[in-house]
Amino acid sequence: MSKIVESHYLESKYNNRDKLFTHFKAHMTARKLLLDRNADKYLRYSVRFLIIATLGLLIGVPLFLIYMSAIYFIIIFLVVIFCFLMSLLFASKSVKASNEYIISKYPYYRNLIIKKPKTYSKEVLTALRCDEIYKNINTWEIKYIDIDDLIEYYDVKGEDLKNSKWYPITLWSLIIFPVYGEFIASLYSKTTTVIASSVLFLVLIFLGTILFWFINKFRLIISAFLLFESDNYKELVDILKIIKTFPKS
């Protein structure tokens, strides 16, 4: 007697590709594979200090520009530098703890860890993901002949998600930058001497450089939240491209 199919979609490879992605997103993140409790704790401390430093700049710089007070400048500078150094310290401790965890749990991958690393071992993460999916690919009833279709599907899906997530941020930037430009112009209009204008210019250059650096770092944090799923699609595409070169099981 033939099997009665309740849903052809659920029985097809199109459902299996979602099962694979769900497993990848839930169980194969860098945090799950590379970080133990200590490494994760240090990472959270690092992110918190970086957020505080960035918020300190975003709030403190306008206050300084409004009141032009040396006290505000000194406070902003000390708080930002302290938080930045603490963020670097805990990030370094997290990477070190991660590498120690990798060596203890995956000793056969220890040669992939570079000396004096500045970030988590991407090569070890790639190796773990490739081996995990390669060994268990039959779990999702995926055949090697379908890998090219999966790569194309995940690639398009990730790009669509990325565009939809970044659109509100781009729109907000287009609105806020002209407003910020008007604010700077109003500050210049209040200066009455060439010396005052020159000092203001140098201060703005200095603070703008620091602000740009921190916004760029803060962007990585925003991306981690906004583009988490999109990045997972891209990473899975890269993993499947590598698996294509493995012997067919």
C-alpha span between 245 and 198 (Å, rounded): 61
pLDDT at 38: 94
pLDDT at 177: 67
Rounded to a whole number, what is the largest CA-CA distance in the chain?
95
pLDDT at 194: 67
CA 161, chain centre distance (Å): 15
pLDDT at 200: 65
Of 167, 142, 152, which is closest to residue 19 (Cα–Cα)?
142
Q: Say if residues 91 and 40 touch (Cβ distance below 8 Å).
A: no
pLDDT at 1: 44
pLDDT at 5: 47
C-alpha span between 231 and 236 (Å, rounded): 9
pLDDT at 162: 75
Quickly count helices (H) and strands (E) in the chain: 8, 0
Residue with tokens 């010396």: 195
3-state SS, 55-73, equals HHHHHHHHHHHHHCCHHHH
**Helix or strand run (H / E) with residue 229:** helix 228-243
pLDDT at 215: 63
Q: Describe the crossing of helices 13-27 and 228-243 by its angle, rounded to 10 degrees.
A: 110
Quote the pTM value: 0.67
DSSP symbols for 171-188 = HHHHHHHHHHHHHHHHHH
Q: Which residues of the chain have pLDDT under 50?
A: 1-3, 5, 8-10
Of 121, 93, 94, 88, which is closest to residue 213 (Cα–Cα)?
88
